[in-house]
Chains A and B, each alone.
Chain A
Amino acid sequence: MNRSQTINSRTTLSRRKLLGGLGALTVAVTSPIWRTATAFGADTKTAGARRFIGVFSANGTIAKDFFPQNVKSGSPLTLGRILAPLQDHLGQLMVLRGVHMNSTVQNELGKDADATEKPGGPHMKGPGAMLTGGSLQAGSFTGSGGPAGYADRISVDQYIAGRIGTNTKFPSLEFGVRIEGQEPLRVISYRGANQPNIAVDDPWQMYKRIFANADLSQTELAQLLAERKSVLDFLSADISALKTRVASEDKARLDAHLTGIRTLEQELSQTPMSCKAPTLPDKVDVRAIENFPTVGKLQMDLMLLAHICGLTNVSTLMFANADSWQHYPWVGVDEEHHELSHAGDDDTDSNEKLVTINTWHSQQVAYMLDKLKATPEADGSNMLDNTLLLWGNELGAGNTHTYKDIPWLLAGGAGGYFKMGRYLQFKDQPHNNLLVSVCNAMGFDDVNTFGIPGVCTGALSGLSA
């Protein structure tokens, strides 16, 4: 190959394909990829990879329509109106009641904390605690009570990613749908204290991350990867040199930066994906209220494709920020969710609307479960069999701002660890215990505490098969 040809090849790569090549791709997200998809990379001898998906929706629930009524703990699951859309997956669901986010109000000793020890309003504390089992640091964010900062420790999705995410292109991916307003309402995933994993709520941006360079030839890709490696090597060396000169608090920030650079390296070292990149429809305004379902569908599709294509085994999806002021005109509720959620228990009209909103969210979860179930693994199981999906909320109920009785739904086969298809009612268990159970289900038997140690008392009892 002579010199000018090489230049041309590089020029083509960086100008047309790398930066503007999305138009060249062919398969629509809505295409038959779902029917033909087989989980990537597994051979028939090995079970499918364990996967974790965390889902968030906002402003609490309507308890009488979410939890089964007049049923004993341990009974076979029956679905109230909100969860009715999940009927097809009844045998792979578990609903938990009596599991509270005590970490938002209790201190390291497991005692009720002074308000100053637990900064932030209830809508702020919820997303910070949901997957971390921790609480918020002090800080200057307000707008929904406050002030407060970001959460104070690692979230369970990131803990899982740290243990099983090293052989996929992305240790984890964080998706959102119209996550607006101000921190920390927009974050459920944390790599550590003051390390928010900010979700991307634009599917077109997310697409570029996930399927970047999918249309490059092997030669082009090899050149690109080699060059990126050079840049990352340079950055690692540069950071190491800089670290020797700066103050210790700055060293810690550079360490966090370096960890991120190593993760970028991981993206390079993984086998290129075998999936063909889909094509997104024409861009819509992701900030517009009315596009919420459209954007939500695209984000779910991209997230599930990322799992199916073997690009990640861990993801989270936030349907709106905590304290959400989203309207739901497509199901006839053209009012602000948060305002509605303050209605009293005897305001039947508003409560009906809240049931409608939560039922719509349950339909979205059903959609994800449908797609996972339709994806066969190489060993004959389907992807849902190996997935654990945890759906939570920042509050139990909007009108009391309670951190108690969070509407927890566990879904999927979780590799057979949980005995699904049941309703379990606990007596005032901290949700830290649920997070321990999640870790156990993901195969980490050695985990016996999660989040604030004084709050956690060990795995929830009676979950496993």
Chain B
Amino acid sequence: MPGTDAPGTDAPSDGASGAGNQSPGTPALPAFDCKDGNVDPGPSPMKRLSRSQYLNSVRDLVGPVSGLETALGTSTSASAFGLIQPDVAQVDLENYRNAATTVAAQIAGDSGALKQLAPCADGAARRDCAKSFVQSFASRAYRAKVSDATDIERHLTLFDAGAKVSYAHGIELLIQGILQAPRFLYRVEIGTGEKVSDTAVKLSPDELAARLSYSIWDTLPDAKLSEAAGSGALATKEGVAAQLDWMLLDAKGAGMVRRFLENWIHLPDLDGVTKDATLYPEWKSATLKASMQAQASAFFADLLENRGGKLSILLTADTVFVNHDLGGFYGVTGGDAFTPASGIAGATAGILTLPAFLALQAKPSESSPIYRGKFVREQMLCQLLPAPPANIPKPPEVTPGVSTRERLAEHETSAACSGCHRMMDPIGFGFENYDSLGRYRTMDGSATVDASGELISTGEIDGKFVGVSELGQKLSQSETVRQCMARQWFRFALARFEQPIDDCSMKGLLDAFEAADSDLNSLPKAIVLSDAFQYRHPVDSEVSP
């Protein structure tokens, strides 16, 4: 599918290979190898705020800013889950400058906002007011107390430059500078001197608070969390984990697992998906894509809030949410709001039969057993597929009236293709009851749909199946899928690939997930309790490049 990348495939850019992904032919993922007492948090490179983190952070710092999204531009297109972190591009820096300028101008031009953020009583020394502003605002923006005198003085040079014009303008330049500073744009972590092991030190309370807030809320810490950090409540693992009890209830946190599932299937990318306008004129509808996205979100929310968050239900639920736009998909009349329905033909395997998922994993004018099979293989089983060869043989000519399945038969007979395609196509054939838009069908062109498929190289669930319902049943019983979910969650929550060094963190995560009977709601606390989340390598142990 155009427009996706794969958080499921595992190849960190430093060349170190993750533990889990196996070459085709290897039956299942190996168990995590955790030696007792080995505390190693793995690498934690500095990460740049994602676009949503940037926007959320600015919103929480100063409130809504008109024109901010436009000023920020659209150049940055990071990998899903932020797994690839390229160095900052020139156009990003220009966008950051424009966005910071926009924010600063709005504050400086609004006396109420200015008074609230940078109050200065009549007769007070304005530079002292600016100093207080730096201490409060920059500390929030940087997620770390700004108290060093040199640091504060460096900031005040900005105020001095602007204050030649006015107090407001001095504050304006300060905001411009702070919002372009690396401590705002990157999640900087240094750690403390407090050793947990030879390869692990504790994070500072502020750093832990930032990890919590960006992981769970996708934004910076609020006053309550900062207060917890300041009071010593984050001094222990349990203390850190205890914050989840209220953070997940906060509106910002309630959707964390849902956000994970949405990003896992690339749901936001549906906006950019193009379909053949002649075959599918309904794709031009102004609301169809949004309805498909909302339908997926409604399913995830229901699963997590009302159905115990069970992985098995994610893969086998026959509940589907229908509104007016999507009624036609199921031959029913939907209302304005989404209402749950069940027992509908084609809506039988939870996430696997969500039209949004199926439309994302399809071609513009037809289904795609390859994309769908690839998603299952890479994202649900965490098994890596090699790239296609550089010089592929010419594909067969397309004959009208021939089904998608028949056309792909070449992959089975050609030795050059079958090595990889047998890992994908036979899984994807199970989805042939769904067209390019994800609508249920029993005919593909003039042929009756044959939705028989086969799983190979998966370990315990190998075997033939018919249709996506049976596929969902098989996947829901797979240890490999459970382990893969734990891996995906790790990647999402920490924005990096797991590595062999993380096996203890991974084992703890998987054990907790299984102890909770594969309840996805158990994942936030499980990751927060992991060494990978709690600690970092000591800065002085890093090897120079």
Contact = CB atoms under 8 A, between A and B. Distances in A.
B86 A195 contact: yes
Interface string A122-134: 1011000000000
Nearest to A125: B390
Contact of B545 (A198, A249, A257, A344): A249
Contacts of B289: none
A245 B188 CA distance: 10
Contact of B180 (A124, A183, A231): A231
Contacts of B374: 142
Contacts of B93: 257, 260-261, 263-264
B88 A257 contact: yes
Interface residues of B, number: 91
Contacts of A121: 387-388
A47 to B, nearest CB: 28
A249 B497 contact: no
Contacts of A137: 13, 15
B6 A147 contact: yes
B90 interface: yes
Interface stretch (A12-20, A71-79, A302-310, A432-440): A12-20
Contact of A147 (B11, B157, B180): B11
B457 to A, nearest CB: 18
Nearest to B12: A138
Q: Indicate the member of A174, A253, A287 with the most B CB atoms within 10 Å.
A: A253
B399 to A, nearest CB: 12
B182 A242 contact: yes
A141 B77 CA distance: 12
Contacts of A7: 165-166, 169
A18 B76 CA distance: 23
A122 B154 contact: no
A408 B7 CA distance: 35
Interface stretch (B55-63, B229-237, B501-509, B536-544): B536-544
Contact of A402 (B101, B390, B542): B390
Q: Indicate the member of A192, A231, A252, A336 with the most B CB atoms within 10 Å.
A: A231
Contacts of A325: 2, 274, 364
Contact of B181 (A10, A200, A238, A249): A238
B397 A234 contact: no
A14 B390 contact: no
Interface in A230-259: 230-231, 233-235, 237-239, 241-242, 245-250, 252-254, 256-257
Contacts of B1: 143
A250 B188 contact: yes
B543 to A, nearest CB: 7
Interface string B62-92: 0000010001011111011001111111111
B86 A234 contact: no
Nearest to B364: A336
A235 B11 contact: no
A122 B390 contact: yes
B196 interface: no
Interface in B382-413: 384, 386-395, 397
Given A139-B11, A143-B4, A249 B542 contact: yes
B9 A142 contact: yes
Contact of B97 (A264, A323, A347): A264
B84 A180 contact: no
Interface in A39-69: none
A223 to B, nearest CB: 8
B392 A400 contact: yes
Contacts of A237: 154
B36 interface: no
B192 to A, nearest CB: 12
Contact of A245 (B102, B537, B539): B539
A40 B378 CA distance: 54
B105 interface: yes
Interface in A317-333: 323, 325
A131 to B, nearest CB: 16
B109 interface: yes
Contact of A139 (B13, B190, B392, B537): B13
A270 to B, nearest CB: 15
A19 B67 contact: yes
A227 interface: yes
B2 A14 contact: no
A430 interface: no
B354 interface: no
A457 interface: no
A105 interface: yes
A140 B391 contact: no
Given A143-B3, A183-B84, A401-B392, A194 B13 contact: yes
Contacts of A249: 43, 45-46, 542, 545
Contacts of B46: 246-247, 249-250, 253-254
A150 B2 contact: no
B131 to A, nearest CB: 15
A336 B513 CA distance: 44
Nearest to A174: B91
A403 interface: yes
Nearest to A204: B70
A198 B181 contact: no
B45 A194 contact: no
B183 interface: yes
B454 interface: no
Contacts of B85: 253
Given A198-B75, A198-B76, A264-B94, A141 B88 contact: no
Contact of B391 (A238, A336, A402): A402
A383 interface: no
Interface in A194-210: 194-198, 200, 202, 205, 208-209
A140 B2 contact: no
B240 to A, nearest CB: 22
B525 interface: no
A181 B162 contact: no
A227 B13 contact: no
Contacts of A119: 11, 387
A350 to B, nearest CB: 9
Interface in B262-277: 272, 274
Nearest to B148: A241
B158 interface: yes
B173 interface: yes
Nearest to A194: B86
Contact of A6 (B5, B165, B386, B537): B165
A321 to B, nearest CB: 8
A458 interface: no
A414 B217 CA distance: 54
Interface in B136-176: 150-151, 154-155, 157-158, 161-162, 165-166, 169, 172-173, 176
Contacts of B181: 234-235, 238
A324 B272 CA distance: 14
B4 A260 contact: no
Contacts of B426: none
B2 A146 contact: no
Contacts of A200: 73, 75, 91
Interface string A99-111: 0000011000000
B87 A257 contact: yes
Given A231-B176, A400-B394, 8 more contacts: A138-B11, A140-B5, A142-B4, A142-B378, A180-B2, A231-B158, A253-B87, A260-B88
Interface of A: 3, 6-7, 10-11, 14-15, 18-19, 104-105, 115-116, 119-122, 124-125, 137-143, 145-150, 174, 180-183, 186, 191-192, 194-198, 200, 202, 205, 208-209, 226-228, 230-231, 233-235, 237-239, 241-242, 245-250, 252-254, 256-257, 260-261, 263-264, 287, 289, 323, 325, 336, 339, 342-345, 347, 399-403
9 contacts: A140-B84, A227-B161, A231-B173, A234-B158, A241-B150, A250-B46, A261-B93, A342-B395, A401-B391
Closest 7 CB pairs of A and B: A256-B87, A230-B161, A247-B542, A147-B9, A142-B6, A181-B2, A250-B46
